[in-house]
Amino acid sequence: MRGLIGLVIVLAIVFVSYKLFFAQLQATGGAQPTRTVDVVGVKNDLLAIGQAERVYQAEHSSYATMDQLTSSGALSMQKSGRNGYTYSADASPSSFRVIATCPAATAPGCLNYAVDETMEVRSIP
């Protein structure tokens, strides 16, 4: 009988701990794995576009727009965005900046990201 009462007490403690943990996880915003996956994908896309810019620059001695990257074959990405994010590239002969713009209307609180010739992805306003 003591074993059964001890088991019930341990199960009650585990259940309460489980409920408190997931209540805290939801309160901190950790329960949105889809948005996290989207952001990681966007950052990876920006790095791929930045690498394509480097390849294009090595071959043509200048950076390119998104259309020039895809038409030259430096970028094999077929889509111009990911899950609502849209990509655009500003290029000059000596620099580039690729911007991922988030859909603020459909995803409030999302951030825009950019990468330049330093290949560092940054959040931008």
| Percent helix, strand and coil across the chain, each to the nearest 5 | 50, 20, 35
Judge whether 2 and 10 are in contact, CB under 8 Å. Answer: no
Q: pTM higher than 0.85, yes or no?
A: no
Using the predicted structure, report yes or no on whether residue 113 has a pLDDT greater than 60. Answer: yes
More confident residue, 2 or 107: 2
In the predicted structure, residue 26 carries a pLDDT above the cut 60: no
Minimal CA–CA distance to 113: which of 124, 16, 76?
A: 124
Q: 104-117 burial, b for 16+ CB within 10 Å, e for fewer?
A: eeeeeebebbbbbe
Please list the residues that pair with 82 across neighbouring strands: 85
How many whole angstroms separate alpha carbon 47 and alpha carbon 59? 19
Chain segment 39-62, per-residue pLDDT in tens? 888 899 999 999 999 999 999 999
Looking at residue 32, its pLDDT comes to 58
70-108: per-residue pLDDT in tens?
A: 888 888 876 777 778 889 989 988 999 999 998 777 777
For position 37, what pLDDT does the model report? 61
